[in-house]
């Protein structure tokens, strides 16, 4: 039974604001109060967030827990060209068997918890449109940065604390058919026992992301990008055992087509290079998607196939760091809903079926076949535990089936339910467990906003 020691103070506010007498915010309100509240119960059978199998080093193999997240704040727009945001986020976790120590990050020398972080600044920024009549939008402060399908830049919203939150300055320019953004920033660390302004960031980064959609019948979209990922703390270990810093760079392109006689698709390629504790980074990743939409058929089914690849390290002693690290992308809905995989040393063949029986009900089924890109590299559920440097455990990790339903309900309410099942293959059986795993969840979210004046 879940023992909840405290509930969000804003739960009372939720009961008040859900009254039908409270008006929703409109576009011309100067000051708006907003709130979102989310509770999700998950049950993990034969795995947890760090380990696979019936005998994990930490936590329990069968674990049920409740996650709660509150976001609340104000948006102030004194003119059409100025936007000041001040939002807070409180992330709580109840009854998880996995201890907080499991999320200690050696590179940070502190915790970085995906489940809990108490009363932190969330989106808190100043945004100025066309300062001094320059055709730019400038956003400075704590913010989310995400683009495209969120594979290169994604906020990672499934995680209770939010995977990528930035303290950054971003400069945006729009033009006919597209945009280009440039930024400099640092990523937030989720340490539950200390306010984020009192401790270090994780990565430092600069770069750009653009989009251009060609006119005419083709209407093909192009999204070029380039960015860095740096950490000057000498806490990274090279293949020769020496420690050093991280100085990584990424360049690539996403191409997409949204509607071509029912078909749509995308292709993303990214190359990673630089220095990892003295090792030469030579890594890359790509993703391909092809889908067909039966718009005239009942329930509007969509069938799609996907393939995701992330390079792995072929030789643990050659001084080359060949493991692609996923850049700043989300992973929560992309490489299996059970979150057993990252976009690292991965071959993921995937097929999906999506239907919409009602306007308010969406259902998606997906099947994945997971393999390692390199047998001598790790399964990045836990790289220190699940790696065979001799490459004698094969590359077949397992298969996963997921089924997720979403219900869009009245008055800002959304409910999701889901189920996942994982069948281990040779690599997982040898290094973790031959037992199959299951996962279920149910989630409720409520969003609300109201104009004050």
Band of residue 103 on the pLDDT scale cut at 50, 70, 90: very high
Query: What is the CATH topology of the domain spanning 10-21+38-451?
Result: Porin (2.40.160)
**Residue 333 clears pLDDT 70, i.e. is over it:** yes
Stretch among 372-376, 409-413, 441-445 having the lowest mean pLDDT? 409-413
User: Taking residues 210-239, what's their average pLDDT?
Assistant: 93
Would the CA dihedral through 336, 337, 338, 344 be positive or negative?
positive
Q: If pLDDT is split at 50, 70 and 90, which confidence band does 444 have?
A: very high
| Predicted confidence (pLDDT) per residue in 61-71, tens digit | 999 999 999 99
- Residue-wise pLDDT for 141-158, tens only, equals 999 999 999 999 999 999
Compute the mean pLDDT over every residue in the chain, rounded to the nearest whole number: 94
Of residues 8 and 221, more confidently modeled:
221
pTM: 0.93
Q: What percent of the chain has pLDDT over 70?
A: 94
pLDDT at 215: 83
Q: What is the pLDDT of residue 12?
A: 44
Q: What digits encode the pLDDT tens for the residues 200-217?
A: 999 999 999 999 998 876
Instruction: Give the per-residue pLDDT at 5.
Output: 47
Residue 377 is predicted with a pLDDT of 98
The distance in angstroms from the start CA to the end CA of the chain is: 44
pLDDT digits (tens, 9 = 90+) for 340-396: 999 999 999 999 999 999 999 999 999 999 999 999 999 999 999 999 999 999 999
Which residue matches tokens 């937030």?
Answer: 188
Domain boundaries, the chain: 10-21+38-451
User: Residue 153 has what pLDDT?
Assistant: 97
pLDDT computed for residue 13 by the predictor: 53
Res. 410: pLDDT tops 80: yes
Secondary structure (H, E, C), the chain: CCCCCCCCCHHHHHHHHCCCCCCCCCCCCCEEEEEEEEEEEEEEECECCCCECCCCCCCCCEEEEEEEEEEEEEEEEEECCEEEEEEEEEEEEECCCCCHHHHEECCCCEECCCCCEEEEEEEEEEEEECHHHCCCEEEEEEECCCCCCCCCECCCCCCCCCCCCEEEEEEEEEECCEEEEEEEEEECCCCCCCCHHHCCCCCEEEEEEEEEECCCCCCCEEEEEEEEEEEEEEEEECCCCCEEEEEEEEEEEEEEEEEECCEEEEEEEEEEEEEECCEEEEEEEEEEEEEEECCCCCCCCEEEEEEEEECCCCCCCCCEECCCCCCECCCCCCCCCCCCCCCCCEEEEEEEEEEEEECCEEEEEEEEEEECCCCCCECCCCCCCCECCCCCCCCEEEEEEEEEEEEECCCCEEEEEEEEEEEECHHHHHHCCCCCEEEEEEEEEEEEEEECC
Q: Residue 8: is its pLDDT beyond 90?
A: no
Average pLDDT over residues 1-15: 50
With 50 as the cut, is the pLDDT of residue 1 above it? no
Q: What is the pLDDT at residue 327? A: 96
Model pLDDT, residue 152: 97
Contact assessment for residue 115 and residue 75, using Cβ atoms and an 8 Å cutoff? no
């Amino acid at each position: 039974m879940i023992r909840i020691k405290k509930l969000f103070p804003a739960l009372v506010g939720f009961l008040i604001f859900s009254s039908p007498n409270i008006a929703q915010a409109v576009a011309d309100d100067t000051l708006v109060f907003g709130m979102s509240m989310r509770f999700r119960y998950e049950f993990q059978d034969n795995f947890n967030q760090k380990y696979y199998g019936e005998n994990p080093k930490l936590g329990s193999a069968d674990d049920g827990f409740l996650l709660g997240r509150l976001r609340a704040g104000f948006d102030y727009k004194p003119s059409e060209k100025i936007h000041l945001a001040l939002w807070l986020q409180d992330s709580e976790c109840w009854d998880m068997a996995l201890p907080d120590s499991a999320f200690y990050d050696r590179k940070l020398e502190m915790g970085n918890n995906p489940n809990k972080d108490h009363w932190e600044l969330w989106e808190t920024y100043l945004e100025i449109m066309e300062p001094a009549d320059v055709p730019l939008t400038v956003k400075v402060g704590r913010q989310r940065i995400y683009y495209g399908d969120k594979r290169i830049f994604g906020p990672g919203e499934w995680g209770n604390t939010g995977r990528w939150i930035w303290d950054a300055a971003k400069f945006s320019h729009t033009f006919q058919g597209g945009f280009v953004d440039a930024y400099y920033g640092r990523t937030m660390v989720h340490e539950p026992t200390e306010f984020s302004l009192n401790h270090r960031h994780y990565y430092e980064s600069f770069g750009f992301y653009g989009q251009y959609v060609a006119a005419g019948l083709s209407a093909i979209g192009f999204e070029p990008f380039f960015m860095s990922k740096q950490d000057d703390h000498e806490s990274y270990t090279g293949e020769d055992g020496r420690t050093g810093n991280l100085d990584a760079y990424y360049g690539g392109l996403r191409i997409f087509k949204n509607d071509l006689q029912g078909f749509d698709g995308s292709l993303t390629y990214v190359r990673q290079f630089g220095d990892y504790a003295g090792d030469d980074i030579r890594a890359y990743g790509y993703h391909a998607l092809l889908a067909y939409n039966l718009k005239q058929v009942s329930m509007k089914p969509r069938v799609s196939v996907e393939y995701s690849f992330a390079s792995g390290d072929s030789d643990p002693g050659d001084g080359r760091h060949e493991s692609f690290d996923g850049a700043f992308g989300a992973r929560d809905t992309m490489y299996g809903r059970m979150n057993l995989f990252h976009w690292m040393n991965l071959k993921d063949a995937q097929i999906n079926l999506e239907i919409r029986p009602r306007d308010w009900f969406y259902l998606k089924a997906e099947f994945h076949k997971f393999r390692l890109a390199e047998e001598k590299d790790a399964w990045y559920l836990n790289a220190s535990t699940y790696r065979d440097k001799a490459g004698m455990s094969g590359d077949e990790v397992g298969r996963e089936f997921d089924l997720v339903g979403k219900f869009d309900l009245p008055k800002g309410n959304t409910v999701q339910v889901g189920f996942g099942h994982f069948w281990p293959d040779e690599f997982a059986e040898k290094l973790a467990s031959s037992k199959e795993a299951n996962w279920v969840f149910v989630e409720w979210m409520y969003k609300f906003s109201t104009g004050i004046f």
